[in-house]
Amino acid sequence: MRNQLKTIAGPAVLLCFIAGMSYLLFKNESDVLFRAQELSLFLPTRLYLETLSICPGGLLSWLGCWLTQHFHHPAVGVSLLGILWFLVSLLICHLNKLRGTWMCLSLVAPLLLLGIITQSGYWIYYQKLDGFLGMPTLGVLFALLGAEVYRLVPERWGGRLLWMLVWGVASYPLLGAYSFLGTLLMMVPTSLERQGWAMRIAAPIALGALLIIAVPQIACQHFYTQLNSDLVYRAAMPVCSYGEKDFPQYRLPYYLLFASLFLRPLPWKLGKQWIGALVSLILVGATCWKVNEIWYRDVNFHKEIRMNNAIGQLQWEKVLHIMLEPNPTPPTRLMVMMKNLALFRLGRAGDEMFHYPEGASLQNAPWGIRMSQVGAITLYYHYAKENFCYRWCMENAVEYGWRVDYLIHMVKSSLLNGDWEVARKYLGLLKKTRYYREWAEHYETYLHNPKKVEEDPEMNPIAQMMINESHLDSDNTKIELFILNTFSSGHGHNPLYQEMTLLCSLLIRDIPSFWPHFFEYCSLHPGERIPTHYQEAAYLYGHLENVVDISSIPFDEEVRQSYEAFMKFNEQCGPMSLDQKAAAFKPRFGDTFYYYYFLQRNLKTN
């Protein structure tokens, strides 16, 4: 009985530790993982596999996409990851003959696999390697399995060398660089005994080195001619660069991961159990510290992700709730635009737009993040710029590959534009996926049925804001500026479209375009109370210019009083700098258009 407990105690400890890792991933990164599967695509078709297989590691990429798709339900995807990490840990123990407390050393690899996922951040938008989140786990698992088969094959008649040869030649097209990892694991001797040195140590090392050097070169000269020579030995590994800048810090966990698998030649692993406990504690503790250090916890990034997910589910109140959560830094412009969109859809932008934090923080990444690549598609779709939504879907697909998010928005944009056959094409692709089949079947009923588009609760307000325009235009990748300028100069009698023109005139502080939009708004809403921020702008502009007669406008008494108090406080502040005034005025007037007009002058649109 005691022996049985000892046998299961080690795996039980590993399982509990990995379960805790999985829970932390699920708790802290569920929204990011859901977004990651939207920015991926898995099709269970031969054509899709062949498409990915134009580069070495195609099978691994395909399986990585398969694993990533399950993050549609983060609990399912994380559970699958946890199971794979447990298998990796057990294989490391078996391959390296770790027993007792020494088994805890096998936790270093799963911890680093966790770190590779949690350090990703904005790479989920910019990484061009399909399935890159799941590939390290699967690649390490296959490499360990290959080494395990090598260990089980009899040495007699050169059986192990034959398996190494088969592995080295056959696995490179399937696994890319992870093929080398399996070969290296085979090259490491099971012991350091001198008996049979030539066959057990020298021959595997020589053959393995030859395979690692020669196979990629031969394969790329004859089968993968389109692959750049500098990527021959990095196939199936993420390219951590943007433009001409390279970011090697993102590759460090991979190096540590590969190093953690080579435990066999270490003689101290057979020492006493207390030594194993001490060594394991030090190495696992150091790895935990490193994973915690590289874990990407940027508040704005996670808020952007959560707000985008909420918009996808039309949870406008949730968008506003996320925006109000404590934040050590000002929001990004993408967050501000999503907040304004939510208020507009709820019909409260005119009263509450300046009640939320303003800011223009740059996204926290070592390269320049562009809104055109992380938020343009969602914004253009909901701001009724369907041609631009489709355009960015297509451009990003050409640059980064097809993704579920692109296909979904191309379907919706095509339906709104009446491009039925185009929508049918992308619906056909989505019907082949596991988690978007029902979604595609639902929207398939919209084909050639404009009435369903008009009745759809999501598409109806968008359709109302679509104005037929017959001229060429370009956003020059300045998404917010383009939306503000096009709406502020637009003309339309639909109440939704017209209010958007007024809001955009307000935000760009353009007095000439504000007045016609303001009076048109009043004519479209006779007898209704004018929202507070529209009143504030009219009252301010009327006193600044004295050109438009505002005496007949029914201003709220609170608007008049806040304006007078603002101007009086401005006189009291005297010769303060703009930043000093901004800090002094904010507690009393930070939620007014007056504060936005005079003191929010450092916001840069993008």
Q: 11-45: per-residue pLDDT in tens?
A: 899 999 999 999 999 999 999 999 999 999 999 99
Q: Which of 552, 518, 523, 521 is nearest to 536 (CA)?
A: 518
242 and 157 share a domain? yes
Higher pLDDT, 38 or 544: 38
Mark which of 294, 316, 334 sits at the end of a domain.
Answer: 294
263 has pLDDT over 80: no
Question: What does the alpha-carbon distance between residue 65 and residue 63 come to, in Å, rounded to a whole number?
Answer: 5
152 has pLDDT over 60: yes
Asked if the structure places residue 475 within a domain, the reply is no
Reading the block at residue 457, the tokens are 């609760």
pTM metric for this prediction: 0.93
Instruction: Provide the pLDDT for residue 606.
Output: 63
Asked if the structure places residue 63 within a domain, the reply is yes
**Strand partners for 242:** 245
303 and 392 share a domain? no
448 has pLDDT over 90: no
Is residue 243 helix, strand or coil?
Answer: coil
322 has pLDDT over 50: yes
174 and 273 share a domain? yes
Question: What does the alpha-carbon distance between residue 463 and residue 70 come to, in Å, rounded to a whole number?
Answer: 33
Instruction: Provide the pLDDT for residue 194.
Output: 45
316 and 172 share a domain? no
Instruction: Provide the pLDDT for residue 2.
Output: 56
Asked if the structure places residue 535 within a domain, the reply is yes
What percentage of the chain has pLDDT greater than the value 90?
68
Question: What does the alpha-carbon distance between residue 133 and residue 66 come to, in Å, rounded to a whole number?
Answer: 11
Instruction: Provide the pLDDT for residue 250.
Output: 93
Mark which of 261, 294, 327 sits at the end of a domain.
Answer: 294
Give whole-number Cα distances, 91 to 24, 74, 87, 385, in Å: 23, 26, 6, 53
158 and 272 share a domain? yes
Instruction: Provide the pLDDT for residue 313.
Output: 95
Asked if the structure places residue 379 within a domain, the reply is no
Question: What does the alpha-carbon distance between residue 500 and residue 489 come to, in Å, rounded to a whole number?
Answer: 11
217 and 92 share a domain? yes
Reading the block at residue 382, the tokens are 């909901």
Instruction: Provide the pLDDT for residue 202.
Output: 80
561-577: average pLDDT: 86
Residue keyed to tokens 């938008």 = 125
Mark which of 369, 393, 413 sits at the end of a domain.
Answer: 369
Instruction: Provide the pLDDT for residue 490.
Output: 86
Is residue 161 helix, strand or coil?
Answer: helix
Across the chain, mean pLDDT equals: 90
128 has pLDDT over 60: yes
Instruction: Provide the pLDDT for residue 544.
Output: 87
261 and 199 share a domain? yes
463 has pLDDT over 80: yes
* pLDDT tier, 205 (very low <50, low <70, confident <90, very high otherwise): confident
Question: What does the alpha-carbon distance between residue 546 and residue 130 come to, in Å, rounded to a whole number?
Answer: 60
Instruction: Provide the pLDDT for residue 6.
Output: 59
Asked if the structure places residue 374 within a domain, the reply is no
- Which of 259-263, 326-330, 344-348 is least confident? 259-263
What percentage of the chain has pLDDT greater than the value 70?
93
284 and 311 share a domain? no
Asked if the structure places residue 234 within a domain, the reply is yes
Reading the block at residue 602, the tokens are 């450092």
330 and 267 share a domain? no
Per residue in 156-178, pLDDT (tens digit) is 777 889 999 999 999 999 999 99
How many domains does the chain contain in total?
4
- Which of 61-70, 114-123, 185-194, 586-595 is least confident? 185-194
Per residue in 499-515, pLDDT (tens digit) is 999 999 999 999 999 99
Instruction: Provide the pLDDT for residue 190.
Output: 58
Instruction: Provide the pLDDT for residue 574.
Output: 74
Asked if the structure places residue 431 within a domain, the reply is yes
Reading the block at residue 402, the tokens are 């097809």
* Domain range enclosing 444: 385-466
Per residue in 353-400, pLDDT (tens digit) is 999 999 899 999 999 899 989 999 999 999 999 999 999 999 999 999
189 and 329 share a domain? no
477 has pLDDT over 90: no
* pLDDT tier, 146 (very low <50, low <70, confident <90, very high otherwise): very high
Question: Taking each helix axis from N to C terminus, what angle separates 178-187 and 203-222, rounded to the nearest 10 degrees?
Answer: 160
537 and 400 share a domain? no
Asked if the structure places residue 474 within a domain, the reply is no
Task: Please say whether the beta carbons of 197 and 159 come within 8 A.
Answer: no
* pLDDT tier, 300 (very low <50, low <70, confident <90, very high otherwise): very high
287 and 305 share a domain? no
